[in-house]
């Protein structure tokens, strides 16, 4: 008697999320885990990353921790290797960011080493991850989300290095959206708005930032974005705390 093979289960959605252990990254990781994604979560600090991974596993999915700096090729190589067993990637969220020196210096006092570090983390590393993961994203017709900032357009004193890097990331995002359209990969930029995070506090040392909302305020936007057809969103720049999310193009 031949026993029929069991029907294969549905393919689980997969995501890579950088800067995952704190702030916005932690909130998005929790949302994705709750939505049934298997995750590769990346951050520099092992303890908060392990705590986040433990929380995300409660939803029943696979959660892989990669401890490292996204500007380090070895970290990106490990991420690519870990995605290989999945056969494809549905979502890449480039959330890891470098603020620069704290307190924030004016551009005339900014060291070139600091500027280089900000651009390596905020521009070069996201692009390098897209390059590394494009084949996996193409297999699932996946989505790339590059996390931007209002500093990309504000010209705020002290925010010059960070803002310039995010402005560059916006242009990289739009260019990639055009270049990867034929491969079925969508790319968007998202400005999450001011939030009560460790990075925002570092930008204002000693000041009270309790009037800023927690990153959870962006959850309705992320739920909306993940439910949209990719052809409708690619090439857009979104404002996660705006009344009109698409107003930031």
In DSSP terms, which residues pair with 190 in a beta bridge? Answer: 147, 238
> How far apart are the two ends of the chain, measured CA to CA in Å?
62
- Measured CA to CA, the distance from residue 40 to residue 37 in angstroms comes to 10
The residue annotated as part of the active site, out of 156, 166, 204, 238, is 166
64 burial (CB, 10 Å; 0-12 / 13-18 / 19+) is: middle
- Measured CA to CA, the distance from residue 118 to residue 149 in angstroms comes to 14
The residue annotated as part of the active site, out of 37, 156, 162, 204, is 162
Active site residue 156: no
- Whether the bond into 147 is cis, omega within 30 of 0: no
- Measured at the CA of 130, the angle between CA 75 and CA 242, to 5 degrees, comes to 110
Active site residue 162: yes
Residue 195, sorted as left (phi over 0), alpha (psi -120 to 50) or beta, turns out to be beta
The residue whose two tokens read 């392990």 is 50
Q: Which of the residues are catalytic?
A: 162, 166
């Amino acid at each position: 008697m031949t026993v029929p093979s069991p029907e294969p289960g549905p393919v689980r959605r997969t995501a890579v999320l950088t800067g995952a252990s704190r702030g916005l990254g932690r909130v998005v990781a929790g949302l994705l885990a709750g939505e049934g994604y298997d995750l590769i979560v990346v951050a520099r600090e092992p303890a908060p990353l392990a705590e986040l991974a433990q929380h995300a596993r409660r939803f029943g999915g696979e959660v892989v921790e990669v401890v490292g700096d996204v500007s380090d090729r070895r970290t990106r190589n490990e991420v690519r290797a870990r995605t290989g067993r999945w056969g494809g990637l549905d979502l890449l969220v480039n959330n890891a960011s470098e603020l620069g020196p704290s307190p924030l210096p004016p551009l005339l006092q900014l060291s070139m080493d600091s500027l280089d570090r900000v651009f390596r983390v905020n521009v070069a590393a996201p692009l390098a991850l897209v390059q590394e993961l494009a084949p996996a994203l193409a297999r699932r017709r996946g989505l790339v989300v590059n996390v931007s900032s209002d500093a990309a357009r504000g010209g705020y004193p002290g925010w010059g290095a960070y803002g310039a890097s995010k402005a560059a990331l916006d242009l990289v995002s739009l260019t990639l959206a055009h270049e990867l359209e034929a491969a079925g990969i969508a790319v968007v930029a998202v400005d999450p708005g001011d939030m009560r995070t460790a990075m925002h506090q570092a930008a204002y040392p000693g000041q009270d930032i309790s009037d800023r909302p927690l990153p959870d305020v962006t959850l309705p936007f992320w739920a909306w974005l993940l439910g949209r057809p990719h052809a409708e969103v690619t090439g857009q720049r979104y404002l996660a705390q705006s009344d009109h999310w698409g107003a930031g193009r």
